[in-house]
Structure 1
Amino acid sequence: MVHTRRRHTLGIIAALFASGAASSVLPAAAQTTGQATSFPSRPIRLIVPHAPGGNSDTFGRILAQKLGDRIGQQVVVENRPGAGGTLGSAMVSKSPPDGYTLVVADNGTHAIAPTLYGAKLSYDVFKDFTPITLAATFPTVIMIHPSVLAQNVKEFVALAKSQPGKLTYSSAGTGNGSHLTVELFRAAAGGLDMVHVPYKGGAPAVQALLAGEVQLSSVSVNTALPHIQAGKVRALGMASMKRSPALPDVPTFAENGIPFEADSWLAIMGPPGIPADVATKLNQEIAATLSQPETQERLAKIGLVVVASPQSGLTDVLKRDVAKWGKAVKDSGAVAD
C-alpha cells in the first residue's frame, strides 16, 4: 500500500513538471536563475536621452554595436531628447523591468537634474532605476582666452579677485555641466566674482571664448584639445582628480591648492525591479564589452575613459554627485525653465 501511494505521488509530480505547472511552486531563486540563463532572447533598446551627435549618443552607438556582437542580439539605439535628457530617462524609469530597455544616463540627468528640476522631475534617481554600471568618464578642462593676463591658475585667481565682476565665462546653458563646473571652481577658489554668460549649446559657448567675447569656459578634453594645440585658448587646469593623458602637462586644480573635480560621466541604468541575476548579467556583459581593446580605443578618440564599475560603484557615485552637483545648482541660483 505504501509503495502504491509513493508511485501515485511521484506520478502527480511528474505530471506537474510536464505541464509546466511546477513553475508556480518552484523557489523564486530557481526561476530567476532561469531568466538570466535565457537572457537576452530578443533585441535590447538602448535609450539615448539626447539628440544625435553628442558624447552620450556616440558612446551609445559604439556600445550597442560591440555589445550586440558579444551577446548575439541586436542592441537598438533610440534617441529620445528633451528637457536636458530627463524625458528619455523618465520613459525608461516607467518601462517593464525585464532588462530589455536601458538608458545612457549621465551626471546631467541623474546628478544635476534632481536639484535643478526639483519637484518638476518625474523620477527619483535612486528609487526609479536599477543601476547597471558606471561606464565611462570624460575629464573636463577649464580654459581661458590668450588675452587674459594670467599664465596659470594662481595668477588667474589673483586677477579675478583684483577685478570683481569684470571677468566673464560662457556655458552651454544655465544649469548645464559647463556652467556648474565653473561654479565649483569659483567656490573652491574662494568665491570668485565673475559674470556668467549662458549660450544655447556647447558650440556657441566655445566660439564665444575663441572670439574673445568671454574670458573663460569649461569643456571636455576632446573638445578643448584642438583649440589648445592651435594656441587659440590656454588650458588653466584639469577639473579632475588626475591629469589627462591627452594633456599631461596641464595640472589639476587640486595640485594648485584648489580642491575640486567636475568630471562628467556616462552610466547604464534600467527601470526599477530588474531581476538581480539579469542586472548582474548585464553588468558583466557590458563590462566585458567596454574592456575590449578596440572598444576602449574608439571611446578614447572621443575623450572617454572606461570605468565599467560594479553596480554598487554606480550607486556610490550617485550618492556623492547628487549632493555635490546639487550644492553647485543651489549656489548658482540656476532653475530649470
Structure 2
Amino acid sequence: MLKETHRGKLAVALLCMLAAGVAHAQQYPTKPVRIMVGYVPGGGVDTTARIVAAALTELWGQQVLVDNRPGAAGNIATELTARAAPDGHTLVLCNIGSHSVTPARFRKRLTYDPIGDFAFPAMIGGVPNVFMVHPSMPTRNLKEFVAYARKHPGKVNFGSSGVGASPHLSIELFKMMAGIDIVHVPYKGAAAALADVMSGHMESSVGNLAGGPLGAIRANKVRALGVTSAKRNAQLPDVPTFAEQGYPDYDVTGWYGLCTQSKVPPAIITKINADMNKLLAAGPLRQRLEDQGITVSTTTPDGFAAHVKAEIARWTKVVQQAKLEAE
C-alpha cells in the first residue's frame, strides 16, 4: 500500500513538472531574446540573423536582438551561447562554420562540446558560397581561372571572411582538386573581402551568397565564376556549379539554423521549432530568405542535430586533407 502511495505521489509530481514546463513554454519568451552572431555585420550569417530576428519579433511580440560577437572563427559567440542561462533567451545563428568547420579545425582546443552543450531547435536552410573575380580579370569561368592561375603560380590572391570558415575551405578544396597555387588573404569579415574585390584591390573573393555578394553580382561589380553547391541557385540561374565545370562530386553547401544551450527545457525547444517551421513554411520570412539565395529546409530538432553530426564528420576529413587543423 505504501509503495502504491509512493508511486502515485511520484506520478503526480511528474505530471505537475510536465504541466509547468508546458505552461512555461507557452509563455516563452518572457523577455528580449538574443541571437548571437560570431561575425561582423554585413556577411551572410549576420544578414540571415537579422531577417530571422525581425520575423520572430513580430510573431512573439517580444524583441529579438542580434548580438555580434566576432572573433576566433565564430567561437566567441558559440561559447557564450553554450555557457548562457538555459532558458532559451540566448540563441546563436549556428552555421557550417560554427558547428562544422570550427569543431573540425579546433577540436583539440574547444572549451565546449559542439554537440553535447547545445540543443538544435530549428534549421533554416542551405546556401552556397560563390567564387567571384573583379571584372577586369581575364577569366569568365573556372577553366579560364585555372589556366590563368597556372600561368601565374602564387601570384593570384583570393579573399574570404577568415581562416577556416567555410568559404575559405571551399576554395582550399578547389585548389587541391584543380592543382593550382593561389594565395588566401583572410579578412575580418565577408563584407571587407567583398569590398576589396569590387574595388580591384583583390583579384578574387569567395563568400556566402546571402548578403552582399548577390547584390554585387547583379550590379556587375564582380563576376561570378561558380557556386559551390551541387545544383545551381535560383537567384543566379546563369552561374554554373563547380561540378558542372569539371569538378564532379564537388559540393560545399553552407547551412544556417538556430541553436541554444543544451539544458533549455524540451518544451521551449519544441515551441521554437514549431514557430520557426511555421514562419518558414510560407510568407514574408521564407521569401526574404529565398531572395538572399537561401534554400529553405526545415526539420525536427533531432533531425537538425543529426545533420550537424554528419557535417562535423565530413569537414574533419577535409580539414585533415588540407592540413588546416589548428595546433
TM-score bin, normalised by smaller chain: 0.7 to 0.9
Match of 2:232 among 233, 240, 243: 243
Q: Distance in 1 between matches of 2:303 and 2:32?
A: 23
Match of 1:312 among 288, 299, 302: 302
Q: Distance in 2 between matches of 1:229 and 1:184?
A: 26
| RMSD of Structure 2 on Structure 1 (CA) | 3.2
What's the TM-score, normalizing by structure 2? 0.82
| Residue of structure 2 in register with 1:255 after alignment | 244
Q: 1:49 to 1:200 in 2, by over 3 A?
A: closer
Mapped pair 1:322 → 2:302: no
SS at match of 2:124: strand
Q: Distance in 2 between matches of 1:76 and 1:207?
A: 26
Structure 1 residue 255, shift from structure 2 partner: 1.9
Q: Distance in 1 between matches of 2:70 and 2:158?
A: 26
Match of 1:197 among 185, 191, 203: 185
The one-letter code sitting in structure 2 at the alignment partner of 1:186 is: K
Structure 1 residue 183, shift from structure 2 partner: 0.7
Name the larger-Rg structure: 1
Q: 1:211 to 1:78 in 2, by over 3 A?
A: closer
What's the TM-score, normalizing by structure 1? 0.80
CA contact 1:220–1:303 (8 Å) conserved in 2: no
SS at match of 2:238: coil
| Residue of structure 2 in register with 1:266 after alignment | 256
Mapped pair 1:116 → 2:105: yes
CA contact 1:32–1:275 (8 Å) conserved in 2: no
Q: How many residues align?
A: 319
Q: 1:236 to 1:37 in 2, by over 3 A?
A: same
CA contact 2:226–2:239 (8 Å) conserved in 1: yes
CA contact 1:138–1:220 (8 Å) conserved in 2: yes
SS at match of 1:26: helix
CA deviation string 1:154-198 (max 9, x = no partner): 333344345443432222322233321211222233x32222222
SS at match of 2:279: helix
- Identity, % of aligned positions: 35
SS at match of 1:99: coil
Q: Distance in 2 between matches of 1:162 and 1:289?
A: 50
SS at match of 2:168: helix
Structure 1 residue 212, shift from structure 2 partner: 3.9
User: What 5-or-longer segments of structure 2 have no aligned partner?
Assistant: none
Structure 1 residue 223, shift from structure 2 partner: 2.2
Match of 2:31 among 43, 57, 61: 43
Q: 1:297 to 1:78 in 2, by over 3 A?
A: same
Structure 1 residue 319, shift from structure 2 partner: 2.3
Structure 1 residue 142, shift from structure 2 partner: 0.8
Indicate the larger mover: 218-227 or 241-250: 218-227
User: What 5-or-longer segments of structure 1 have no aligned partner?
Assistant: 1-8, 17-21
Q: 1:212 to 1:329 in 2, by over 3 A?
A: farther
CA contact 1:186–1:193 (8 Å) conserved in 2: yes
The one-letter code sitting in structure 2 at the alignment partner of 1:269 is: C
The one-letter code sitting in structure 2 at the alignment partner of 1:35 is: G
CA deviation string 1:91-137 (max 9, x = no partner): 22123434333222122211121133333321111111011122133
